[in-house]
Amino acid sequence: GQNIDQPTEMTATEGAIVQINCTYQTSGFNGLFWYQQHAGEAPTFLSYNVLDGLEEKGRFSSFLSRSKGYSYLLLKELQMKDSASYLCAVRDYDYKLSFGAGTTVTVRA
Amino acid sequence: GAVVSQHPSWVICKSGTSVKIECRSLDFQATTMFWYRQFPKQSLMLMATSNEGSKATYEQGVEKDKFLINHASLTLSTLTVTSAHPEDSSFYICSAREDFPSGRSGEQFFGPGTRLTVL
C-alpha cells in the first residue's frame, strides 16, 4: 500500500514563496504528481517527477528524492488565486494514483 | 490537452433510487479509467479501476454490487450508484489514462466531477 503525508494547512502572504512537503512510503513507485484543487472542482495537474531532481514550470517547481521518499512543491510569487488545496499523489506500477490528504494553502494580501 | 467530461455535473436523488454517472475522454482513447470519491475536506479515494472490455477492479471496502461500472468503449465509462442512500452523497470524480503509444507518461486526466446528493 501507499502512505503519503503532507501538512494540513499553510498560510502565506501574496508575493511570497511557500514550500509544501510530501513524504511517502510505497510498495511500488512509478512517479509522483502534484495537483491543485479548488473547492468543488476536480484536481488539475501541476507537475510530475519520476527521476530525482527539480522540475520547474513557471512559478511552480517540484522536487523529488526517491531514496528519501520525499518531494516538495514550491510556489513562488504567490497570488491570491493560488489559494487552494494541493494534493501529492504517488503512482504505482498499475498506474493507480494514491493521494495524500491535501494541503490547504491560504494566500493573504 | 486531453479533455475528460463527466455528466451530470450534479444530481439530487431520493434515497433508494439509482444514479448513473458518465465519464468520457473527448479527444483520446482510454482503455483504463479510474473512479474516485471525495468527501468534504478529504482527499480523493480510489474506488475502482475501469477497464474497457473487462470487469472493473474494485478497491478494498468498495461494494461492487452497489457501484456498478461499465466500460463499454474506449472513450466511455459509467458508474451507477444503485439504491443510493444519504451516506453515498459525495463528489465523484473520474480520470482517464491515455493509451500508448502517445509519447505521454501515461498521465491521468481528470473529469470535472459529479456532485451527488441523496435525500
Confidence at residue A27, expressed as pLDDT on a 0 to 100 scale: 84
Which of B108, B112, B113 comes nearest A97 by C-beta?
B108
Confidence at residue B40, expressed as pLDDT on a 0 to 100 scale: 85
Q: Which residues contact B41 (CB under 8 A, 6 or more apart)?
A: none
Q: Which residues contact B101 (CB under 8 A, 6 or more apart)?
A: none
Of the two residues B101 and A16, the one the predictor is more confident about is A16
Of the two residues B100 and B36, the one the predictor is more confident about is B36
pLDDT tens-place string over residues A36-83: 999 888 899 999 999 999 999 899 999 999 999 999 999 999 999 999
User: How far B83 CA sits from the closest chain A CA (Å)?
Assistant: 24
Chains A and B: how many Cβ contacts under 8 Å?
46
pLDDT tens-place string over residues B36-94: 999 988 889 999 999 888 899 999 999 999 999 999 899 999 999 999 999 999 999 99
Give dist(CA B58, CA B60) in Å, integer.
7
Which of B45, B97, B111 comes nearest A42 by C-beta?
B111
* Of residues B60, B80, B59, the one with CA closest to residue B69: B80
| For residue B96, pLDDT beyond 80 | yes
B113 with A31: Cβ contact below 8 A: no
Query: Taking CA atoms, what residue in B is nearest to A84?
Result: B41
Average pLDDT on A27-35 reads: 92
Average pLDDT on A9-37 reads: 95
Banded model confidence at residue B101, pLDDT cuts 50, 70, 90: low
A97 with B107: Cβ contact below 8 A: no
Chain B contact for A7, CB < 8 A?
Answer: no
- Chain A residues whose CB is inside 8 A of the B62 CB are none
Of the two residues B30 and A107, the one the predictor is more confident about is A107
Chain A contact for B32, CB < 8 A?
Answer: yes
Confidence at residue B23, expressed as pLDDT on a 0 to 100 scale: 97
Q: Which residues contact B106 (CB under 8 A, 6 or more apart)?
A: A95, B97, B98, B100
Give dist(CA B82, CA A8) in Å, integer.
34
Residue B88 has phi, psi (to 5 degrees) of -85, -5
Confidence at residue A42, expressed as pLDDT on a 0 to 100 scale: 86
